Amino acid sequence: MNSSGEPGGVERELRAAIRRRGLAYRTEAGYVSWYRRFIRFHGLRHPREMGKGEVEAFLTHLAMERRVAASTQSQAFNAIMFLYRTVLKMPLEGVDAVRAKQPRRLPVVLSREETAKLLGEVPGGTPRCLVGLLYGCGLRVSEGLRLRVKDVDFDNGLVWIRQGKGAKDRCVSMPKRLAESLKLQVRRARLLFDEDEAEGGARVFVEPALDRRYGGRLSRSWEWFWVFAAAGRAVDPRDGETKRHHVLEGAVSQWLRKAVKGAGITKKVSAHTLRHSYATHLLQKGVDLRSIQEALGHASVKTTEIYTHVVHAMSGRTGSPLDDL
């Protein structure tokens, strides 16, 4: 059979389509995983032999039998739609499956005092700079890790987030207290860049089509080097070449776990908690909701409005009748 005539061939085409579009490696791994689960669920039938009914059955199974979260089911839906629309050229319309329930959960938020204690417990150097940036700019952890040297604008006091969620760019104010720490971090990155140059040439991941357009220069340039570069180099599974990656999310989680314990904080804290705290503290300062929406990169102000509920509760504006007795 040719490459499109067997499930393994479809998987190769799926990976190729994802890489042509420059999607994140995490997205590639997720989409491939959902493709495999989809065909296993239907007894390894070829996806060309299936269609809307089989997709609906799989998504309903995830919601009713597996009880997955709404976000998990949405990722499965997006992966399978990408497969049929982009790889198989068989777009499916009107897929109607039982949807997983989307719980309305309020975010965990740290007080200013807790945030200060937490940051004080994070080790100095790269860890404290990165964690401080996540809180100080309200970044998603992936956005902080993927910062390039060109994205840190010291002259204008800006941090640029390129290709954030929804493939959107935005910029946020650089915290003045973090400027010197960021300059030191860039100097640390320069040492790694120079080390790579001395050993045959620095190389980082740049979307292949963009890199090819510039003759492969971007992936070897200082401007495109990671601000938070990893200490060692590793093989890129997408093309088998040795490159310098950025610090991994697992390292950030480890730093935070130790800092939370050291600060004596009993709340469940993740890197995203810092983003929630950033938004809440800005609201408490009186910054308008629209400005916070833009800083966070939310597509709709409805998403940002959840923080108003938290602020109202924290302010004690409603109070309690027990206190009036």
Active site (annotated) includes residue 302: no
* Catalytic residue from among 165, 217, 257, 267: 165
| SS3 state of residue 284 | helix
Residues 6+ apart with CB under 8 A from 181: 128, 129, 132
- Residues 211 and 205: their CA atoms lie apart, in Å, by 9
Beta strands in 116-264 (DSSP E): 152-153, 158-161, 170-173, 229-235, 242-246
Active site (annotated) includes residue 101: no
* CA angle, 182 then 186 then 190, to 5°: 165
* Catalytic residue from among 140, 148, 220, 246: 140
- Residues 87 and 210: their CA atoms lie apart, in Å, by 21
Question: Please, are residues 55 and 92 in contact by the beta-carbon 8 Å criterion?
Answer: yes
- Residues 271 and 263: their CA atoms lie apart, in Å, by 15
Active site (annotated) includes residue 298: yes
DSSP string covering 269-308, please? --HHHHHHHHHHHHHHHT--HHHHHHHHT-SSHHHHTHHH
Active site (annotated) includes residue 162: no
* Catalytic residue from among 275, 276, 278, 281: 275
Active site (annotated) includes residue 203: no
Question: Please, are residues 251 and 237 in contact by the beta-carbon 8 Å criterion?
Answer: no
Residues 6+ apart with CB under 8 A from 23: none
Q: Over the range 24-38, which residues count as b (16 or more CB within 10 Å of their CB) and which as e?
A: eeebbebbbebbebb
Which strands, in side-by-side order, build the sheet including 152-153?
Answer: 152-153, 158-161, 170-173
Other Cβ atoms within 10 Å of 315 Cβ, number: 11
Active site (annotated) includes residue 276: no
* Catalytic residue from among 19, 21, 162, 272: 272
* CA angle, 158 then 309 then 160, to 5°: 15
Question: Please, are residues 196 and 203 in contact by the beta-carbon 8 Å criterion?
Answer: yes
Where in the sequence numbering do the catalytic residues fall? 140, 165, 272, 275, 298, 307
